Structure 1
Amino acid sequence: MTGNVHPLPRKAAPSLQPLMALVADGMNSVNAVILDRMQSRIPLIPALAGHLIAGGGKRMRPMLTLASASLLGYGGSRHYKLAATVEFIHTATLLHDDVVDGSDMRRGKKTANIVYGNPATVLVGDFLFSRSFELMVEDGSLKVLRILSNASAVIAEGEVDQLVAQRQIETSEERYLAIINAKTAALFAAACRIAAVVAERSDEDEMALDAYGRNLGIAFQLADDAIDYDSDASEMGKDQGDDFREGKMTLPVILAYARGTEDERAFWRAAIAGDRNSDQDLAHAVALIRRHDAVNATRERARHYAARAIDAIARFPDGAAKAAMTEAAEFAVARRF
């Protein structure tokens, strides 16, 4: 058979653009709430909070609140303040995390704790948590208050659990998944679930959105873990190997350690204990992770959770919101930053 052969068009890489376009107008309202509620008579508070809030983050969690509301056909305005609440909770945890981790870079710029110091950063994180609870109370729904306050407590538990597991080489994959379910996925789940509450939908719809957010959050964090051993700092906006130097037992390390020889395990024990953290040691760690295909295995697990997220919203009608949320799950795994 002869004639011209036309290759099939390649599917474009997954993007957040459909999600961002879907919620663009609503995010203007959310950002107005954020700007208003981060103000204080103490100038240091909005200056420090704005350093991170205006720092170029994806705003993934509040966007998911708005997208979930769109998926349900909600036509009110309560979700704007609640999406701002979700972003304040997230920002507060980031401020506290950077102090705990001693981080000096986030989103390509110096962290607030480096610019303003640890005490001010912790206290402004507390301020943003307090603002988030003010917004929850203003909404007036005890159910919304219960969901978001529970998520805040679970996040704190997850962070403490991660701290306890730090430099513990025998941390299992199961325990690690439990940690990220708490410290990352809980807020994704709550951000989506509250949309069903304000839209007065069924418990089944509520829990479907909870499942979407939870699985998306796990996929998102697993992709982060892979990126830390698979990208350079210019892509990530932070120093490559932060997790390695902090002795964090993320999934690529857990898998490489489990699959390694005894000599390799001895290296990992020393590295995670903090005795092998030079640039050469990081390069060796990356080589071991590649040797055992641990980054690809981590991304494969992330794809599994992204697929579960997509399955969770199958019950809802097709349309722009569902398509955007589906692509957001695909993006969470495919991204390089």
Structure 2
Amino acid sequence: MGVVIPLENKNRHAASIKQLVDLTKPGMERVNQLILSKAGSDVEMIPEVANHLISSGGKRLRPMLTLASATMFGYEGSHHVKLATSVEFMHTATLLHDDVVDESDLRRGKSTARMIWGNQASVLVGDFLLGQAFRIMVEVGSMDALDVLSTAASVIAEGEVFQLSVAKNMETTEDDYLSVIRAKTAALFSAAAEVGPIVAGTGKAERDALRSYGANLGLAFQLVDDVLDYGGSAAALGKNVGDDFREGKITLPVVLSYRRGSEKDRAFWRSAIEEGKNDDDALEMAHKLLLATNALNDTIARAEHYGAIARDALAPLPETAEKDALLDVIDFCISRVH
């Protein structure tokens, strides 16, 4: 079952991250080698669990942001490769932890690590990867980069706890939800983009621009994911369509539909999200209510808004191939709703 969501916009059908992939290919080859090296351990289960997720086909967008945001300012050293690896380890660790918290069975079309090795192994291997991420940051020797990434790690954890506090609560406001995704998703996008200009030795203006770009790109990315859960494909989403609904997750389309609906509609959402009555019939009803209240299109509009802020953040920077590639990423992230 899918929802067709009309979008007006220019060349969205051609949106792609190919330019970013091409520009960062040499650096990403080095990142991938470092990932394999640093994910190794004499404890056999650690590389097994880590490689299960690391090799599962993610786009590795966040480390590519780090590489591009360094080379766009002429950086030619190796520190950006190490920081990109740290970023990917942080991301992988949060996925391992998320799947345990959310009790998820699938990730990128494969059984989650927790389904194969159990919750305890998933949490502990996630902790190992976080430790390795910080060891690599220390090798770089930049206190500013360490500050940005360690702050992001703390903010992400805060977001996880805050999400628990609002979980399955239909009185969650849009502001509450945006606070969650600013912490859980946008913080790492923002840090990944900001550490590039840090190692390139730029000034405050360039750092601020990339930090804002990353944060707003992250918000747009997550809001599009929220829409895809109710009307996308598993390939675009990286998990099963409808998983958020079945797990009783509060996302922005749900928040909007609940607040705009009738009392009968709100009773349905409380039953589905708070009481777990979320079978296929309930999912079909959820689709109908989301469409009737325009919640999906308005969530896309919010994503477009944050995408525009990300675009404007880069506007004052010099024209480079990397800047063009980073702008393409905005369109790519939003185009996934097709």
Please classify the TM superposition score into its range, dividing by the shorter chain length: over 0.9
**AA partner of residue 44 (structure 1):** M
Given that 1:40 and 1:46 are in contact with CA atoms closer than 8 Å, whether structure 2 keeps it comes out as yes
Given that 1:108 and 1:236 are in contact with CA atoms closer than 8 Å, whether structure 2 keeps it comes out as no
Which position in structure 2 is the counterpart of 1:155?
A: 156
Structure 1, residues 265-314: CA drift from partner, whole Å, max 9, x if none? 11111111124211111111111101112111111110110111111011
| Superposition CA RMSD, Å | 1.4
Which position in structure 2 is the counterpart of 1:282?
A: 283
**AA partner of residue 207 (structure 1):** D
Show the 5 A alignment for 1:146-295: 146-233=147-234, 235-295=236-296
Q: Which runs of 5+ in 1 are unaligned?
A: 1-8
Deviation at 1:101?
Answer: 0.6
Which position in structure 1 is the counterpart of 2:7?
A: none
- Distance in 1 between residues matched to 2:250 and 2:301, nearest whole Å: 18
- Distance in 2 between residues matched to 1:132 and 1:98, nearest whole Å: 20
Greater CA radius of gyration, 1 or 2? Answer: 1
Whether 1:318 and 2:319 are equivalent positions in the alignment is yes
**AA partner of residue 246 (structure 1):** E
Which position in structure 2 is the counterpart of 1:108?
A: 109
Deviation at 1:202?
Answer: 0.6
- Distance in 1 between residues matched to 2:131 and 2:12, nearest whole Å: 44
Tell me: CA distance 1:275–1:24, structure 2 relative to 1, closer, same or farther (3 Å): closer
Whether 1:30 and 2:31 are equivalent positions in the alignment is yes
- Distance in 2 between residues matched to 1:267 and 1:147, nearest whole Å: 42
Structure 1, residues 56-90: CA drift from partner, whole Å, max 9, x if none? 00101000001111221212211000000000000
Normalising by the residue count of structure 1, what TM-score does the alignment of the two structures yield?
A: 0.95
Which position in structure 1 is the counterpart of 2:328?
A: 327
Farther-moved stretch of structure 1 (276-285 vs 54-63): 276-285
Given that 2:96 and 2:113 are in contact with CA atoms closer than 8 Å, whether structure 1 keeps it comes out as yes
Given that 1:92 and 1:128 are in contact with CA atoms closer than 8 Å, whether structure 2 keeps it comes out as yes
Show the 5 A alignment for 1:78-157: 78-157=79-158
**AA partner of residue 63 (structure 2):** P
Show the 5 A alignment for 1:7-46: 12-46=13-47
Q: Which runs of 5+ in 2 are unaligned?
A: 1-9
Given that 2:16 and 2:332 are in contact with CA atoms closer than 8 Å, whether structure 1 keeps it comes out as yes
- Distance in 2 between residues matched to 1:314 and 1:168, nearest whole Å: 39
Which position in structure 2 is the counterpart of 1:53?
A: 54
Deviation at 1:13?
Answer: 2.1
Give the fraction of aligned pairs with identical amino acids, expressed as a percent: 52
Tell me: CA distance 1:209–1:267, structure 2 relative to 1, closer, same or farther (3 Å): same
Tell me: CA distance 1:199–1:296, structure 2 relative to 1, closer, same or farther (3 Å): same
Normalising by the residue count of structure 2, what TM-score does the alignment of the two structures yield?
A: 0.94
Given that 2:73 and 2:200 are in contact with CA atoms closer than 8 Å, whether structure 1 keeps it comes out as yes
Whether 1:69 and 2:70 are equivalent positions in the alignment is yes
